Amino acid sequence: EAQVTQNPRYLITVTGKKLTVTCSQNMNHEYMSWYRQDPGLGLRQIYYSMNVEVTDKGDVPEGYKVSRKEKRNFPLILESPSPNQTSLYFCASSYHRVTGELFFGEGSRLTVL
């Protein structure tokens, strides 16, 4: 089954404790992206990747890092989480960066205390 898998789905952590949200897709998509979704603000892009070893900042990259060492995986790293990073995070992938529909993971709800 074609899918985008994120883990963990739910996480409560404390300020400053590094964490990684994993994302994996099995559709051989080149384009992958991370979004955060907050009430009243909609989906905002954090980082995206056009292909292996190619990553770029989105609208709200501060406080986040990403890597793309393999085509299928695109982890999101919060080196020192802060409460303002409490949000619902979605990973997504697409076969084409411009015209391709995005396939979203189920979301990861992160709470930073």
Partner 1 sequence: GQNIDQPTEMTATEGAIVQINCTYQTSGFNGLFWYQQHAGEAPTFLSYNVLDGLEEKGRFSSFLSRSKGYSYLLLKELQMKDSASYLCAVNNAGNMLTFGGGTRLMVKP
Q: Which chain residues interact with partner 1 by CB under 8 A? A: 31, 33, 35, 40-45, 48, 50, 56, 58-59, 90, 97-99, 101-107
User: Which C-beta is closer to partner 1: that of 9 or that of 17?
Assistant: 9
In the complex, least distance from residue 101 CB atom to partner 1, rounded to whole angstroms: 4
> Per residue in 67-76, is it b (16+ CB within 10 Å) or e — as a string?
ebeeebbbbb
User: Which C-beta is closer to partner 1: that of 5 or that of 13?
Assistant: 5
In the complex, least distance from residue 33 CB atom to partner 1, rounded to whole angstroms: 7
User: Which C-beta is closer to partner 1: that of 1 or that of 99?
Assistant: 99
Q: In the numeric block, which tokens belong to residue 44? A: 């905002």
In the complex, least distance from residue 14 CB atom to partner 1, rounded to whole angstroms: 25
41 backbone φψ class: left, alpha, beta (φ>0; ψ -120 to 50): alpha
Q: What is the DSSP letter of 73?
A: B
Q: What is the DSSP letter of 83?
A: G
